[in-house]
Structure formats: C-alpha cells, structure tokens
Structure 1
C-alpha cells in the first residue's frame, strides 16, 4: 500500500530583513520624490525666475554638488557609527530642506537650498547599502538591492504623476512643502526599528541569524580582511567609479530633462506630461527587478547583463528623438528605460557583492560618488547643449548616448569575480 509523504512543506515566513528592506524602500522612494519633483516644476520655476535652459540646468546640478560631496563622508560615518543614526538624521535633514525649497523667493536662495538638501541625501546611500549587506545573506543581496533601487524608476514615475497634479492645482511651491513632511515620520521609524547589529534586533529569529552567520563565514573565507584605505587603491573600485560615472550621465540626463522634452519638443500639456512621462519609469521597474533577479542567478556573468542592456538602451534612446511620431517616441523611451534599469540592477549586484561588509558604507559611497558627479555635470551640459542648438534636444541626446556606449566599453575590462 502506497502512502503519501507526510514531510512538512516549507512555508514562506516573513523575516526581519524584509521589514528592514521595506523601510529602506520607503526611505528611498521619498528621497526620489523629493529630488525628482523639481524636474516637473522646472519649466514653472524657470518662468517665475526668468531663467534660460542653462540656468535651469544649474538648479538640477546644484543638488548633485551637495549629493556627490557627501557620498563618501556619509559612508564613512555609517561604517564608524552605524547606519541607523546616519540614515535617520539624513532623512530628517533633507525633508526640512525639501519643504524650504517651496518657500524661497530668489534664484540664489533656491540654489543654496538645493545644495544643502543634496548634502542630506548624500549621507543616505552608503548607509542603506551597508544595512542590506548587514541584514541579507550574500545570495539575496542583488535582489534586495534591486528591490530597493526600484525607487529609481517608481520615484520619477510617481514624481511625474504627483508633481503634475499638485502643481496644476496649487502651484509649484506647494509640491515641495507637502513632500517634505512624511520624511520626519520615516526618520523616527528608522531610529526605533532598525538596529545596526541584527543580533540586537528584538524580533529576529535564531534561524535568520544562522543564515547570516553562515553567509558571513563563507564571505570571510573568500575575502581577506581589508581596510578602506587599502581597498580605495584597488583597480576594481576605480573601474566601478568610472562605469557608474559614465552610466549616470545617461541616467540623470534621461530622467532630469524628460518632462521638459515632452512639453517643449513633443508639445504635451502638463497633465499629459505627468501621465506619459511616468510610463518609461513604470516599465523600468520591470527591468530593475528582472536585473536584480538575474544578477543573483548568474553571479559570474553580471557584466554580460550590464553591457548589452546598456547598449540596447542607447539604441532606443537614439530612436526616441529621431522619430516624428510622439507616440513612438514615448514607446521608444519605455524600451530604453527597460534596458537602462536592467543594466542598473546588474551593475549594483556586482558592487554590493564585491565589497567587504565592514567597509561597505564608504566603498559603495565612493562608487556612487562617481555617479553623482555625473548627476552634477549631465543636467547642466544638457541645458547648455539645448541653448546652443536653439532649443533642439538632438545634441543633448547624442551626449547621453555617447556616455552609455563609453560605460559599456569600460565594463568590458572588468573581471568576472562574482
């Protein structure tokens, strides 16, 4: 007589690390809402302050000046004092200056406010990546990072929809005042829930701690103990900095000027821009999550996810500004975003799993520093190229395409170690 197996089936169990990731996700979401809504408001800010495209680009770039300068200091502080304190203070700081952005009455004050706002946001990324490296085992880090990084797509998408709606109803100042308020509550949530050491978390289970201990033991066998001062001299980290710098020229140029392009070149209204401008980022969310999943499944081939995806994104970005149909332009933007964000996730899967946990804050901040320098350069250069070509975006798009191709070429030199 044959009997059915009575072995218990493994059931999904919610773990503390999933709650931590959820909090990080919400934190990143508001960081992107707070920084990206200015792209929707830019045409109206430009009109109120009588600014040309280059001066509007400086508004975008000023944020990245503060943001890039504090990537490495923020990471160093997280490594020294723990990520919880740094993240909570950073979110409270930038939320205050988000609200103050809506209250400025002059162009110089606006630039100062965006710079100081960027300082607060700059301290956050290294701390959040260190938290993922602390709470997640090695074989889940790329997926966790991709889920966290999905706000790079959802943030601009929601900023486009929410920003357009609030601006249409109440004016551009109101959107900044409103979005700054939730950050204070998120900062308190981080302070009281997240612990620097998972073993000190009151709700974490013994099995979850065992998973982390096993993963850390495996990583220790593969990686010698190394200090940040030693790691910063390695060829690998500077290859990553250069790749991310070039890639982010395309990334930040793409998302910073997309609303203005749709309104000024394609003739979309504010509400239509809010709707159609959000579509590439919703599609990009699929690419981001797929990139994280594939990155964990094919750890030794991450650069072969990154390179073709980046090149395909560049191809469809070229189609975006060369087609005459506005509908086709939006479709090509969506396809370009799909591959752009897939490449994004593949790259950060490589970064987060190649850096020792003890120096994750400072080292990931160093890599991200390269990208944020690009964020400072790209919006201003695009504005300059648009003015130089009498309002045409063609040369600006070619600038983004060239940077994407260069990023893929540098990635060819990276050795597949993970």
Structure 2
C-alpha cells in the first residue's frame, strides 16, 4: 500500500484509538469517581447517566455545527487543535474532585471530538480513490475505534483496580498531548496536497441544500444511524457495570468487557471481503442491524450469565463488523462532494450524539427501576430492527440512481 495509507490512514487510526480511550475511561472508573465526587448511593444512576451522556450532548451539537462550519478549513488544522483541546480537558479531570469540573470537561471532550469526527470523512474522500473508500473508512474510522474498545478495557481496568481512577485520565489525556498531536503535525498533510481534493471539496461556495445531502433518502440513512448509535452507546457506556452485574470481577471483568469489541474486529475482516466482492453494502449493513436486534430480543429467554454475555457479544460483533465499515462508504457515495463534511457531521451528531444520549439515559434509568441492565438492552434490540428496515428502505430509494450511475460508468 502507498504511503498515504500509513501517513493518513494509519495516523488517523492511531488517533481514533486514543480518542476512544478518552471516551471510555469514565465508564471504567465510574464507581470510585462517584464516591470521590459525592454521587454514590441513591444519586448514582441518574447522575452517572448524566456524567456519561453529557459527552454525547456536546458531541451531537458539535458534529452538526462542526461539519458545516469547518468545511472550508483544512482538516489537518481542525483535527490537530481538536485533539489538543480535549486531551487537556481529560487531564484536568484527573486533578479534580468536583462533579462540576467533571461535567464541564466531559462536555468539552464531546464538543472537541464532535468537531473532529466529520474531518475523517473529508480525509477519506480527498486522499483515497472511490474504489478504496470502504478499506479507507475501515482503517480510519473502524479499526482504531474497536481496537481501542477491545484492548482498552483490558488495559484500563487493571490500571484502575491497581491505582484508582485518576491515572486513567492522566494516561489517556497525556497520550493525546505527548504523542498524537505531534504525530498529526508531522504525518498528516494539508488538503492542498490531496490527490482527490477536487472531489472532496466539490463547490465549496455552493449552498448546502437538502438535495446535496441526498434528499429524502438521507433521512432514512440518518434514522438507521440513530438506532445504531443507540445500540453502540447503550452497550458501550454501561458494559463494565453490565458484566460486573453478571458476576464477572477482576481480570474476568476486563476480558468480558472487551469481548464484544474483539468480536467486532474479528467479524469485520471476512465481512469486509464479502462486501467488497459483492458490492452489497446496503444489504450487508442492514443485516448488521436486523440480526443483532433479534439477538438482543432473546436476552430475557436465557438465564445463565455466560449466555447473556454471549448474546451481547455476538450482537455487537455482527453489528459492528457489518454496519460500521459500510455505512460511511454509503454516505460518501450518495451526497454531493461539497456536502461530505456537513453530511457526516449531521449523521454522526444525530446518530451517535443524539441516539447515544437517549440510550445512555434509557439503560441507566431502567436499571434504576428494575435492578437489571437487560430491559434497556431489549428495547435497544427492538429499535435497531427498525433501523435495519429504514436502511433497506434507503436502498430501495437509491437503487434507480445507483443503477443509472453504474450504467454511465
């Protein structure tokens, strides 16, 4: 592979790895963070839900606004400054014992990461040819994310159990400041050097219209992404406590928390090969919502903790391996070039930010009322099935245009 795969794709993959450590450190250290900041006991469920999801509230707004407002800015500048800002906020949390400081810094983390996310699609579109987009998106936006979650819980959990929660924030924030920001300054290239910048930029002064975003079909695409955001964040925000409630402790808790994400990495490889060979991206992504949703609906039918963990693991693995590598290629192929950044921000803001916020509260509040995380997961299963059906509807709406494009090509 050419140098752009390592210089651009590899650097952004490593960056997203660290970014997801910054997102998940609070989930690992939450029990003692709650004790030190005074919201353990009766306040735990509600305050924890807010502490976990305030990141997503800022993330949702910043994805949408950031994707639109930064479309004329060089993505290298945006990602470098964004990373520096949220890394500082992460380190500040480690020095604090204030719930207010925690909430403010988590909101800053969400805003900065929300501005960061759409830039990845801009890098993909401007540095990689159209036939490389699925592989490029997998490298830039997939493997770093899921490797961080697969390895991160196994790295962060033992550190937390040995040294407490503060080193988690010093470590993850410090990695961004000491390693990622210098890496981006050295390795990433300005947009003016990108070989496909004319297709990424399109007509930068053109108005952002509904048609440029893809029209009505874009609405169906976004809805499917909202439900996947609910599935991903509803599980990810709570997974360390979920596996603990199932009886896994110590090192077993770390491994059990990582299993769904390790399954995602393993599933992605064969599924990506099938996707590239068949070009059935919409169908494969739809099945990546429908099948996991059905598996989560089965949770009340099994009693053994290992069986519940297995259903969650297979559901998240199939979803992530089937849906995530394909969805960004689908988006980038269906919107006007100048709308790539805004469309990515809108979809990820509403999906990951909005859907994730709702799911975080949903799972937490249902746990507070039932004493179990499973009712929330079952509801997520039903919602994600609706998302799979929405994506199939998107495919039917786009089919005539895609056929026409193929005939011209």
- TM-score (ref. length: structure 1): 0.86
Match of 2:8 in 1: 20
Match of 2:219 in 1: 238
**d(CA) in 1 for partners of 2:377, 2:175:** 35
Residue 54 of structure 1: how far off its partner (Å): 2.2
Match of 2:407 in 1: none
User: SS at 1:392's partner residue?
Assistant: coil
2:339 matches 1:359: yes
**Are the structure 2 counterparts of residues 289 and 368 from structure 1 closer, same or farther at C-alpha, using a change threshold of 3 Å?**
farther
Match of 2:249 in 1: 269
Choose which of 321, 338, 343 in structure 1 pairs with 2:317: 338
Compute the RMSD of aligned alpha carbons. Answer: 2.4
Mapped contact 1:133–1:352 kept (Cα < 8 A)? yes
Choose which of 166, 169, 183 in structure 1 pairs with 2:162: 169
2:186 matches 1:192: yes
- How big is each residue's C-alpha offset from its partner over 1:46-89, in whole Å with a ceiling of 9 and x where there is no partner? 34332421221111110001111110232234421110110000
**d(CA) in 2 for partners of 1:78, 1:27:** 19
2:333 matches 1:392: no
2:87 matches 1:106: no
Residue 296 of structure 1: how far off its partner (Å): 3.6
**Are the structure 2 counterparts of residues 228 and 286 from structure 1 closer, same or farther at C-alpha, using a change threshold of 3 Å?**
farther
Alignment length (residue pairs)? 388
**Are the structure 2 counterparts of residues 43 and 319 from structure 1 closer, same or farther at C-alpha, using a change threshold of 3 Å?**
farther
Mapped contact 1:36–1:155 kept (Cα < 8 A)? no
Match of 2:128 in 1: 136
**d(CA) in 2 for partners of 1:137, 1:40:** 39
Alignment of structure 1 residues 209-248 onto 2, 5 Å: 209=195, 212=196, 216=199, 227-230=207-210, 231-232=212-213, 234-248=215-229
**Are the structure 2 counterparts of residues 133 and 174 from structure 1 closer, same or farther at C-alpha, using a change threshold of 3 Å?**
same
**d(CA) in 2 for partners of 1:179, 1:295:** 34
**d(CA) in 2 for partners of 1:115, 1:325:** 38
- Which is greater in Rg? 1
**d(CA) in 2 for partners of 1:105, 1:129:** 37
Moved over 6 A (4+): none
Mapped contact 1:167–1:174 kept (Cα < 8 A)? yes
- How big is each residue's C-alpha offset from its partner over 1:10-61, in whole Å with a ceiling of 9 and x where there is no partner? xxx5332432100010111111111012111122323433242122111111
**d(CA) in 2 for partners of 1:27, 1:267:** 33
Residue 379 of structure 1: how far off its partner (Å): 0.7
**Are the structure 2 counterparts of residues 350 and 290 from structure 1 closer, same or farther at C-alpha, using a change threshold of 3 Å?**
farther
**d(CA) in 1 for partners of 2:23, 2:295:** 26
Residue 198 of structure 1: how far off its partner (Å): 5.8
The structure whose residues are more often helix, as a share, is: 2
2:139 matches 1:160: no
- How big is each residue's C-alpha offset from its partner over 1:75-132, in whole Å with a ceiling of 9 and x where there is no partner? 2344211101100001001111111122221222211111111111111111111001
Alignment of structure 1 residues 38-49 onto 2, 5 Å: 38-48=26-36, 49=38
Mapped contact 1:147–1:289 kept (Cα < 8 A)? no
**d(CA) in 2 for partners of 1:338, 1:233:** 29
**Are the structure 2 counterparts of residues 351 and 290 from structure 1 closer, same or farther at C-alpha, using a change threshold of 3 Å?**
farther
Match of 1:206 in 2: none
2:319 matches 1:349: no
Residue 242 of structure 1: how far off its partner (Å): 1.4
**Are the structure 2 counterparts of residues 374 and 319 from structure 1 closer, same or farther at C-alpha, using a change threshold of 3 Å?**
same
Match of 1:96 in 2: 88
Alignment of structure 1 residues 3-152 onto 2, 5 Å: 13-48=1-36, 49=38, 50=40, 51-148=43-140, 149-152=142-145
- TM-score (ref. length: structure 2): 0.88
Unaligned runs of 5+ in 1: 1-12, 201-208
Moved more, 26-35 or 73-82: 73-82
**d(CA) in 1 for partners of 2:66, 2:181:** 16
Residue 216 of structure 1: how far off its partner (Å): 5.0
**d(CA) in 2 for partners of 1:182, 1:34:** 10
**d(CA) in 1 for partners of 2:298, 2:147:** 23
Mapped contact 1:227–1:359 kept (Cα < 8 A)? no
